[in-house]
């Protein structure tokens, strides 16, 4: 049966596509598609014999040397329809001086672009249509390197001024227990500025006769009292809860530099690429994620107690859905506030404690001497009593001074003025940020969810990689399987053919 030649063939050059299917071009319409490819025509042939799609061979009246720079073709069997078939030229074979044979492979992505589309399936990676900070936090297969700080400073510097707290239990006075930090305590607390040496000494001096009344002396932040401590100190009357100190840091925003580099992809502003780091200068640390804070702003409350053991605890606020309250599952504490030591002159204490008993003993001795030995006996008894008393006093005077509390009052952080929380924004280094940013720029984010693949949300290109891709449409079964395998392998859709491979363009939303 005679078939009238009616096939149109166009041989194209400089088409930025190949059989690897790493890239293809996204068209909004079939007319836009054909117009683009026709614009790359080197040779146009009309009234050619019918081209069989699966055969993959076509003879044309051109010298082989004229066709070597042609890498693509399109043909239309116009006697049977208006559809254009698109194909990669895979080889050019010399036939004779005026004839060449082209081998080709159908480009299944472009040929069936408007005849099928990916359906709801598992998308492993893609360029997302929402790049707000915190909207995508799925783990990525990238190395992070070392972390660096982008601004590291003391947090809650109001903790720095320390006070000396003296705990006194005086059995000779009425019970005066009360609530301190919401906890009942039987001791009376007196607070002094740490440089108020005279005030502290004066208070300790009140208890020379009963040094055991001083049951403790330690240091804690002045702010724990809730007010300024005057010279000479003050007695703490009552506190229904530990003092709370609030801290608020800077929000993370697009355009913020990571170690000097400004990312194009906002995922780099989330953990583990960027986060809020806190430490206590003693080896403990707390890493908090900006994306879990309300308004991306790190906030925290620091509870500051005044009763032993002193443990200032920082808890994030407005974190992980905790609204305006603290999130108590994650915290960090300042501990090891020093116990203070104090001394009492042993002889003075002994003399003060025994002044009345000594007088009574002397009178008793004198009286006994008078009764049993007359005046001489009285004098002898008095001398003997004094001698005995002085002997006891000498033994007391050569004893070492009493040391109470901890003699280790040189706590390292306190001594160095670093008993504080420290923190700031931690991030990966500039080099790693650039490498990971380039990776995200080319291949989008890990999505790992069931959805319809996103092929056109970005201004220049969209990468898509699926697992178990599903395609719906009127496409030959073999080509449909191939299209599915292309999506599963990963493919980039470019909006403009002359931009394919140009990743320097701004592809942000």
Q: Are 217 and 339 in contact (CB under 8 A)?
A: yes
Instruction: Give 166's strand partners.
Output: 190, 217
As a dihedral over the C-alpha atoms of residue 441, residue 442, residue 447, residue 452, rounded to 10 degrees, the angle is 110
As a whole number of angstroms, the distance between CA 188 and CA 175 comes to: 9
Q: Give yes or no: residues 270 and 296 share one domain.
A: yes
Q: In this structure, is residue 139 part of a structural domain?
A: no
Q: In this structure, is residue 351 part of a structural domain?
A: yes
Domain that holds residue 385: 346-400
Average pLDDT for 166-170: 89
pLDDT band at 366 (very low <50, low <70, confident <90, very high): very low
Q: Report whether pLDDT(349) > 80.
A: no
Q: Give yes or no: residues 230 and 287 share one domain.
A: yes
Greatest alpha-carbon pair distance for the chain in Å reads: 165
State yes or no: cis peptide before 394, omega within 30 of 0: no
Q: Give yes or no: residues 167 and 311 share one domain.
A: yes
pLDDT digits (tens, 9 = 90+) for 453-489: 999 999 999 999 999 999 999 999 999 999 999 999 9
Q: Give yes or no: residues 174 and 313 share one domain.
A: yes
As a whole number of angstroms, the distance between CA 116 and CA 155 comes to: 58
- pLDDT at position 391 is 43
Q: In this structure, is residue 1 part of a structural domain?
A: no
Q: Give yes or no: residues 169 and 318 share one domain.
A: yes
pLDDT band at 370 (very low <50, low <70, confident <90, very high): very low
Q: Report whether pLDDT(108) > 90.
A: yes
Q: Give yes or no: residues 205 and 97 share one domain.
A: no
| Tokens coding 219 | 């240091």
Q: Give yes or no: residues 423 and 488 share one domain.
A: no
Q: In this structure, is residue 450 part of a structural domain?
A: yes
As a whole number of angstroms, the distance between CA 40 and CA 42 comes to: 7
pLDDT band at 380 (very low <50, low <70, confident <90, very high): very low
As a whole number of angstroms, the distance between CA 147 and CA 428 comes to: 5
- pLDDT at position 412 is 82
Burial class (CB in 10 A: 0-12, 13-18, 19+), 168: buried
pLDDT digits (tens, 9 = 90+) for 417-452: 899 999 999 999 999 999 999 999 999 999 999 999
CA-to-CA separations, 392 to 349, 350, 384, 397, in angstroms, rounded: 13, 10, 12, 9
Residue written as token pair 């702010």: 223
Q: In this structure, is residue 319 part of a structural domain?
A: yes
- pLDDT at position 378 is 45
Q: Report whether pLDDT(175) > 80.
A: no
For the chain, the straight-line distance linking the first and the last C-alpha, in angstroms and rounded, comes to: 57
Q: Give yes or no: residues 293 and 378 share one domain.
A: no
State yes or no: cis peptide before 2, omega within 30 of 0: no
Q: In this structure, is residue 447 part of a structural domain?
A: yes
- pLDDT at position 49 is 74
Domain count, the chain: 3
pLDDT digits (tens, 9 = 90+) for 280-328: 988 889 999 999 999 999 999 999 999 888 999 999 999 999 988 999 9
pTM given for the model: 0.82
Q: Give yes or no: residues 304 and 168 share one domain.
A: yes
264 closest CA partner among 144, 437, 430, 426: 437
As a whole number of angstroms, the distance between CA 246 and CA 40 comes to: 65
User: Is the model more confident about 258 or about 342?
Assistant: 258
């Amino acid at each position: 049966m005679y078939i009238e030649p009616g096939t149109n063939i166009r041989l194209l050059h400089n088409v930025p596509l190949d059989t690897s299917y790493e890239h293809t071009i996204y068209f909004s319409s079939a007319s836009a598609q054909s117009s683009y490819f026709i614009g790359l025509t080197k040779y146009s042939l009309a009234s050619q014999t019918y081209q069989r799609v699966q055969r993959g061979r076509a003879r044309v009246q051109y010298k082989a040397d004229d066709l070597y720079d042609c890498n693509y073709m399109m043909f239309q069997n116009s006697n049977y329809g208006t559809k254009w078939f698109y194909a990669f030229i895979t080889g050019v074979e010399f036939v004779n001086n005026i004839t060449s044979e082209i081998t080709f492979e159908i480009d299944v992505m472009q040929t069936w672009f408007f005849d099928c589309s990916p359906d709801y399936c598992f998308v492993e990676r893609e360029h997302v249509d929402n790049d707000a900070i915190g909207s995508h936090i799925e783990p990525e297969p990238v190395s992070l390197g070392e972390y660096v700080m982008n601004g590291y400073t003391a947090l809650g510097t109001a903790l720095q001024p320390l006070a000396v707290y003296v705990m006194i239990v005086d059995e000779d006075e009425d019970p005066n227990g009360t609530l301190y930090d919401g906890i009942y305590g039987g001791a009376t607390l007196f607070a002094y500025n740490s440089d108020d040496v005279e005030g502290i000494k004066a208070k300790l001096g009140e208890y020379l006769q009963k040094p055991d009344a001083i049951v403790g002396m330690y240091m804690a932040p002045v702010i724990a009292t809730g007010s300024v401590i005057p010279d000479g100190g003050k007695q703490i009357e009552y506190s229904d809860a530990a003092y709370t100190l609030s801290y608020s840091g800077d929000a993370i925003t697009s355009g913020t530099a990571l170690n000097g580099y400004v990312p194009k992809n906002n995922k780099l502003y989330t953990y583990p690429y960027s986060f809020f780091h806190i430490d206590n200068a003693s080896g403990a640390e707390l890493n908090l994620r900006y994306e879990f804070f309300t308004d991306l702003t790190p906030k925290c409350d620091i509870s500051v107690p005044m009763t032993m053991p002193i443990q200032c605890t920082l808890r994030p606020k407005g974190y992980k859905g905790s609204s305006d309250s603290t999130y108590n599952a994650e915290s960090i504490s300042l501990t090891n506030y020093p116990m203070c030591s104090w001394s009492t002159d042993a002889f003075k204490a002994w003399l003060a404690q025994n002044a009345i008993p000594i007088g009574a003993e002397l009178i008793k001795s004198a009286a006994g001497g008078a009764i049993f030995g007359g005046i001489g006996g009285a004098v002898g008894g008095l001398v003997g009593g004094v001698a005995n008393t002085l002997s006891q006093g000498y033994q007391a005077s050569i004893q070492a001074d009493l040391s109470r509390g901890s003699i280790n009052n040189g706590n390292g952080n306190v001594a160095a003025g670093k008993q504080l929380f420290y923190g700031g924004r931690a991030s990966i280094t500039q080099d790693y940020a650039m490498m990971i940013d380039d990776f995200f720029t080319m291949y989008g984010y890990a999505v790992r969810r069931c959805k319809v693949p996103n092929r056109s949300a970005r201004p220049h290109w969209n990468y898509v990689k699926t697992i178990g891709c599903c395609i719906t449409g009127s496409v030959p079964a073999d080509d449909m399987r191939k299209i599915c395998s292309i999506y599963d392998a990963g493919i980039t859709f470019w909006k403009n053919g002359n931009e394919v491979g140009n990743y320097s363009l701004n592809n942000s939303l």
